[in-house]
């Protein structure tokens, strides 16, 4: 359901909660705690956390709202749709600080993206210390859902997503993003970050899939291979890299013009890096198949729309970063089961492996391809069964 954006917030004289044209910048903890309240929110079963969320919503002027869970992601964040008889719909982000979450990066990057003309959700209220944000509800039309229900729309949706990436390439990322009283340093997507991420494949997937530990020498050799493969892109600090730009984090808003039709989610981990990374994230989607010929058409379109001067160099960067990303995802999906008990992610690993094989076939990645084939097990049924059986309580 799309939000009634004209009715999402009614300005309050005593709080100055929102201006729908542009939020008034306020400190991230401007929703203050109070000693006691009556329960005025129809929320899930009372726990200290749900009661804290109730208090946050009451202070934000949303007393009398109903709350219902929304699908979450692989993090410790939770999301709920909040429905109010006067304000309409919004989304509550519950990001517990005691579980390593911090809403400040999301708030600051949101304001940066909105300032550039992208459809990041408007912020209505925030309490960083408690880990709550109240956000514009961009609706339920995730790219993945729309394309599944209407496959004929896939080309139009992805073309607009390519346009958004081309526009993002034209923006100069600042050293830090600022908004709602938050100042968030935008770190580079450098060699250290790329190596640390790719290492997840040999730290989580490989030992479980082959039933034997990875030696220190193997670990070191693997990092050397990744370092060599990514040498041409590790110093690139050209664009704001959203990092999870794919069909389950994009929301279709066709009533909005241009790139604003692409609603953005889950960008709080953004870094400054190479523009090929987000393109690979979109076209080698870990959760849905993107046909190789369709992906090639979209890469060609991006090269034109983003006015890429050296297309061959860009394609080489794309292959290297896509391989790095897919190795990382294989490791993360294994970790989500082995450490966190989220077994459903194992089903996506064969798809990610197919993407990886295609990436490693690119010129210049022969050495990494050879190392992977010798040391990292493919996700055969037998390997997946070993990983499934490897979880410890």
* Exposure class string for 5-28: b at 16+ Cβ within 10 A, else e: eeebbeeeeeeebbeeeebeebeb
**Which candidate, 78, 93, 91, 84, places its Cα nearest to that of 140?**
91
166 and 55 in a common domain: no
Question: Which pLDDT belongs to residue 243?
Answer: 95
In the chain the beta strands, taken as DSSP E runs, fall at: 66-70, 78-84, 88-94, 123-127, 132-136, 176-179, 182-185, 239-241, 250-252, 262-264, 271-273
148 and 124 in a common domain: no
304 and 214 in a common domain: yes
- 42-46, 144-148, 227-231 — which is least confidently predicted? 42-46
Would you state the structure tokens that stand for residue 375, as one six-digit string?
């040391």
Calpha distance 127→130 (Å, rounded): 6
Whether the pLDDT of residue 46 is over 80: the answer is no
- pLDDT, one tens digit per residue, over 151-190 is 999 999 999 999 999 999 999 999 999 988 888 999 999 9
Boundary (domain end) residue, out of 96, 118, 136: 136
- 9-18, 44-53, 124-133, 370-379 — which is least confidently predicted? 9-18
Report how far apart the first and last C-alpha atoms of the chain are (Å, whole number): 39
334 and 185 in a common domain: yes
Boundary (domain end) residue, out of 110, 136, 162: 136
pLDDT higher for 32 or 294? 294
Query: Is the overall model pTM greater than 0.75, yes or no?
Result: yes
State the average pLDDT over residues 366-370: 98
349 and 268 in a common domain: yes
The Cα-based distances of 7 to 51, 85, 90 in angstroms read 26, 10, 10
Whether the pLDDT of residue 16 is over 60: the answer is no
Calpha distance 281→24 (Å, rounded): 33
- pLDDT, one tens digit per residue, over 108-132 is 999 999 999 999 999 999 999 999 9
pLDDT grade for 351, boundaries at 50, 70 and 90: very high
- Please, is 286 exposed, middle or buried when counting C-beta atoms within 10 Å of its C-beta (0-12, 13-18, 19+)? buried
70 and 132 in a common domain: yes
207 and 154 in a common domain: yes
229 and 159 in a common domain: yes
Would you state the structure tokens that stand for residue 6, as one six-digit string?
């004209």
Give the residue numbers spanning the domain of 124. 5-136
pLDDT grade for 74, boundaries at 50, 70 and 90: low
127 and 149 in a common domain: no
Indicate which CATH number applies to the domain containing 236.
3.90.1200.10
Calpha distance 62→85 (Å, rounded): 9
In 44-192 the beta strands, taken as DSSP E runs, fall at: 66-70, 78-84, 88-94, 123-127, 132-136, 176-179, 182-185
**Which candidate, 321, 258, 328, places its Cα nearest to that of 286?**
328
Calpha distance 220→383 (Å, rounded): 23
Whether the pLDDT of residue 100 is over 50: the answer is yes
107 and 147 in a common domain: no
What three-state secondary structure class fits 301?
helix
Mean pLDDT of the chain: 88
196 and 239 in a common domain: yes
177 and 129 in a common domain: no
**Number of domains within the chain:** 2
Boundary (domain end) residue, out of 98, 119, 136: 136
* The total number of residues written for the chain in this structure: 393
CA 107-113-118 angle, 5° bins: 130
Indicate which CATH number applies to the domain containing 28.
3.30.200.20
Whether the pLDDT of residue 289 is over 70: the answer is yes
């Amino acid at each position: 359901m799309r939000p009634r954006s004209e009715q999402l917030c009614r300005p309050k004289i005593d709080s100055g909660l929102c201006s729908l044209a542009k939020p008034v910048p306020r400190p991230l903890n401007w929703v203050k705690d109070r000693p006691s309240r009556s329960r005025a929110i129809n929320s899930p079963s009372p726990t200290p956390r749900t009661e804290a969320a109730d208090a946050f919503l009451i202070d934000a002027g949303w007393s009398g709202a109903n709350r219902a869970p929304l699908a979450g992601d692989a993090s410790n964040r939770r999301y709920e749709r909040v429905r109010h008889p006067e304000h309409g719909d919004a989304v509550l982000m519950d990001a517990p600080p005691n579980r390593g979450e911090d809403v400040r990066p999301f708030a600051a990057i949101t304001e940066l993206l909105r300032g550039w003309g992208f459809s990041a959700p408007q912020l209505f209220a925030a309490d960083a210390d408690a880990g709550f944000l109240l956000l514009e509800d961009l609706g339920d039309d995730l790219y993945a859902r729309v394309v599944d229900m209407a496959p004929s729309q896939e080309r139009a949706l992805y073309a607009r997503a390519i346009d958004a990436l081309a526009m993002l390439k034209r923006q100069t990322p600042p050293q830090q993003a600022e908004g709602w009283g938050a100042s968030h340093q935008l770190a580079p997507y450098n060699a250290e970050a790329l190596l640390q991420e790719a290492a997840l494949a040999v730290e989580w997937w490989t030992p479980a899939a082959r039933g034997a530990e990875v030696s220190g020498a193997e670990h070191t050799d693997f990092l050397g291979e990744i370092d060599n493969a990514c040498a041409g892109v590790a110093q690139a600090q050209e664009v704001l890299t959203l990092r999870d730009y794919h069909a389950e984090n994009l929301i279709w808003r066709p009533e909005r013009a241009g790139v604003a039709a692409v609603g953005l989610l889950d960008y709080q981990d953004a870094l400054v890096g190479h523009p090929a990374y987000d393109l690979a994230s979109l076209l080698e989607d870990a959760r849905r198949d993107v046909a190789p010929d369709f992906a090639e058409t979209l890469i060609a379109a991006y090269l034109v729309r983003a006015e890429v001067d050296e297309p061959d160099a860009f394609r080489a960067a794309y292959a290297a970063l896509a391989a790095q990303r897919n190795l990382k995802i294989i490791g993360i999906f294994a970790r989500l089961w082995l450490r966190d008990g989220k077994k459903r992610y194992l089903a996506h690993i064969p798809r990610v492996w197919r993407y990886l094989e295609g990436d490693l076939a690119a010129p210049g990645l022969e050495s990494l391809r050879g190392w992977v084939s010798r040391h990292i097990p493919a996700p055969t049924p037998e390997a997946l069964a070993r990983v499934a059986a490897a979880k410890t309580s």
